[in-house]
Chain A
Amino acid sequence: GQNIDQPTEMTATEGAIVQINCTYQTSGFNGLFWYQQHAGEAPTFLSYNVLDGLEEKGRFSSFLSRSKGYSYLLLKELQMKDSASYLCAGLDSNYQLIWGAGTKLIIKP
């Protein structure tokens, strides 16, 4: 079956760096998405990786290893507003998204 695994909750300190891991098993693979979802709000797009390697976008970076079925989202210089859930989603061979349950990130001062 298809599956996305990510930690349920993580805690980090303002100004620090945090890495949120995601492992995936999908029927075929057409890329991996990361979305951010603040409590009570809609998910919003953060990044998309389809090739191996690191993609940097400001304070956020996303990494993909297709051979390992693994991705991570790296958040630098953490700010209180980064407190949110981070959703990992794999795109299968039919271009349908398989969603993880999300990682709730708590930022402490």
Chain B
Amino acid sequence: NAGVTQTPKFRVLKTGQSMTLLCAQDMNHEYMYWYRQDPGMGLRLIHYSVGEGTTAKGEVPDGYNVSRLKKQNFLLGLESAAPSQTSVYFCASSFLGLAGADTQYFGPGTRLTVL
């Protein structure tokens, strides 16, 4: 049982390049989330999904897109990276999510630097 995994762990991009971050969970959770974590700030929700085939905007969605084609996977895309997107990105999943209070399980994070 691997829990939540993220690929890649580190990445350096140049401004304007694109990339996709992959998150996978093997706990059969319905809810999945993408957060970014910046120094001195709380985790900020980028996008989330309440089930396979669904996505919704979080607090800071601009510049990002997501897809949830399979229940176990949640992809985060940056179409044209900007230095302001330099951050640590965490994926998380939970069983209940918006249906009730539930623990979120986090992946190990992706450290992205945009030059």
B29-86 interface with A by 8 A CB criterion: 40-45
Q: B42, B98, B101: which contacts A87 (Cβ < 8 A)?
A: B42
- Identity of the chain A residue whose Cβ is nearest the Cβ of B42 in the assembled complex: A99
Interface size for A (C-beta < 8 A) is 25
User: What 0/1 pattern do residues 47 to 60 of A give for CB contact below 8 A with B?
Assistant: 01010000000000
Give the residues in chain B near A87, CB-CB below 8 Å: 42-43
Which chain B residues border A40 with CB–CB below 8 Å? Answer: 109
Whether A101 sits at the interface, judged by CB under 8 Å, is yes
Per a CB cutoff under 8 Å, which of A43, A50, A94 touches B106? A43
In the complex the two chains form, what is the Cα distance from A60 to B14 in whole Å? 44
Q: Which residues of A contact B (CB under 8 A)?
A: 4, 8, 30-31, 33, 40-45, 48, 50, 87, 89, 91, 94-102
B residues sitting closer than 8 Å to A (CB atoms) are: 4, 40-45, 90, 96-101, 103-109
